[in-house]
Amino acid sequence: MRWTLLVLASLLASPAAAQSAGREAVERYGCATCHTVPGVRVSRRQSCVGCHERVVGARRSGLGRAPRVQHYLHVPDLRHVTRRLREDYLVSYLQNPHDARPRMEETMPRLPVTEDDARLITRYLRAQAGEVEVPTSPAPDPGNVASGRAAFERAGCMTCHELGNLDFGVHLPPVALRRIGDAAFEAPNLRFVRDRMTPDVALAWIRNPRAIDPNTEMPHPQLSDGDARLIRDFLFLVDPGRPATARRPTLELQPLSRRVRYAEVRAIFDRSCIHCHAHTDGEANATFGFAPSSLDLSSPEGVRAGVLLPGGARRSVLAPDETGLPPLVWRLVRRHEEATRDQAGVLADPLGPALAPPDDTPPGMPLGLPPVAPDDIRLLYTWALQGAPE
């Protein structure tokens, strides 16, 4: 309640005070640990993306071994994002992100961002980016949809972009798109254009992306004004196709009949969990807006010690809670539920509402990454029931 009152007060105060509150929110949720954020500097060593880039670029040892990193090697630049994306979309997305880039396995992590903080962050970014004027244009015309599709295909937009589940007959493998560049591999699903942009901004963007965002990797399409408008109308009015069935794997949590050792589960933790949950005083968790937990997965003793609560007591992550599962396991199961929105995939879009309301359920783990394999979850479940032996 106290923080909400402070937020409201800052919004009613001077622009400088609102900017200060917005910057504080950006820093509290660690936005700059991954993204380029105007006015906030983070060293490459402190940046998640910078660290991953260093690992990928590191020389292999004499034995040919080197750490492997596949995710969070490149993320959107936020310096001018508010010039093209609508404020209501950004506020909703920060609270409850969804999969907008179907070829990427990783997504924006689900952080405990409040609506007030989302507005502070969005308005901070807008003030830093500055406004951009775009011409007023005619409303999208249903009569342009067929011609717009033809212009879309002539321009080759479908080489990089998906549009819902419409099949344009171009199916480049991920490795080919990677060779074209990050922009091609990470191109967003264009069915979200109508949620993300106004029609006027979308048309200006199609005509000349760099006039709106000088740092964008979107190439200049060199379209005529007529074709640009046809494509805009197509994107805003076309039926994006038949929804794909969201498939969840069946999670078999029957315990294994054998003894499980810590070395086996540590191999699972090493893939991503250890980043935040090892030899920690909770600062890694707090970087992303969560309460410090001090959960240490780097040893059996650390796991058995559980989570440090604000009052100084500890809560077990191994004993089943109200869900019937140990929290260590339940959060991994939760990530499989989130994956139906966070990993739609090419031509596998459920076409659900982009602006679904957030809920209070704790986020699944690992944050923003593909779910842990069902067999690995079963192994962790068995280990937890056995009391986390050495």
Q: How far is CA 79 from CA 38, 221, 317, in A?
A: 5, 22, 39
Q: For residue 238, name the pLDDT band (cuts at 50, 70, 90).
A: very high
Give domain status of residue 221, yes or no: yes
Give domain status of residue 247, yes or no: no
Is the same domain home to 112 and 180?
Answer: no
Residue for token pair 């986020």: 363
Number of domains composing the chain = 3
Query: Which of these three, 129, 163, 182, is where a domain ends?
Result: 129
Would you call 102 exposed, middle or buried from its count of C-beta atoms within 10 A (0-12, 13-18, 19+)? buried
Is the same domain home to 379 and 279?
Answer: yes
Give domain status of residue 242, yes or no: no
The pLDDT tens digits of the residues spanning 273-324 come to 988 898 655 555 567 998 887 899 999 999 999 998 888 889 999 999 999 9
For residue 66, the model assigns a pLDDT of 54
Is the same domain home to 105 and 177?
Answer: no
- Residue 351 pLDDT > 70: yes
Residue for token pair 């308005």: 123
For residue 42, the model assigns a pLDDT of 83
Is the same domain home to 12 and 116?
Answer: yes
Q: For residue 136, name the pLDDT band (cuts at 50, 70, 90).
A: very high
Is the same domain home to 275 and 218?
Answer: no
Segment holding 24, helix H or strand E: helix 15-28
pTM equals 0.90
Q: Report the alpha-carbon distance of residue 159 to residue 205 in Å, rounded.
A: 18
- Residue 239 pLDDT > 90: yes
Give domain status of residue 208, yes or no: yes
For position 178, which CATH number holds? Answer: 2.60.40.420
Q: For residue 247, name the pLDDT band (cuts at 50, 70, 90).
A: confident
Give domain status of residue 253, yes or no: no
Give domain status of residue 211, yes or no: yes
For residue 342, the model assigns a pLDDT of 86
> Which of 274, 278, 280, 261 is closest to 388 using CA atoms?
261
Q: How far is CA 50 from CA 124, 174, 342, in A?
A: 24, 23, 23
Give domain status of residue 257, yes or no: no
Is the same domain home to 193 and 111?
Answer: no
Is the same domain home to 11 and 121?
Answer: yes
Is the same domain home to 99 and 171?
Answer: no
Give domain status of residue 254, yes or no: no
The pLDDT tens digits of the residues spanning 84-96 come to 999 999 999 999 9
Is the same domain home to 11 and 119?
Answer: yes
- For residues 251 and 333, the answer to whether their CB atoms sit within 8 Å is yes
For position 116, which CATH number holds? Answer: 1.10.760
Q: Which domain holds residue 195?
A: 142-237
Is the same domain home to 22 and 55?
Answer: yes
Query: Which of these three, 129, 150, 174, is where a domain ends?
Result: 129
Q: Report the alpha-carbon distance of residue 273 to residue 278 in Å, rounded.
A: 8
For the residues of 318-374, what is the DSSP string, one character each?
SS--TTSS-HHHHHHHHHHHHHHHH---TT------TTPPP-SSPPPSSTTSPPPPH
Is the same domain home to 92 and 162?
Answer: no
- The CA-based angle 271-273-278, given to 5 degrees, is 115
Query: Which of these three, 220, 237, 254, is where a domain ends?
Result: 237
User: What's the mean pLDDT in 8-26?
Assistant: 80
50-59, 162-171, 222-231, range with the lowest pLDDT = 50-59
Is the same domain home to 353 and 315?
Answer: yes
The whole-angstrom distance between residue 292's C-alpha and the CA centroid of its chain comes to 21
- Residue 1 pLDDT > 70: no
Phi first, then psi, for residue 144 (nearest 5°) are: -100, 0
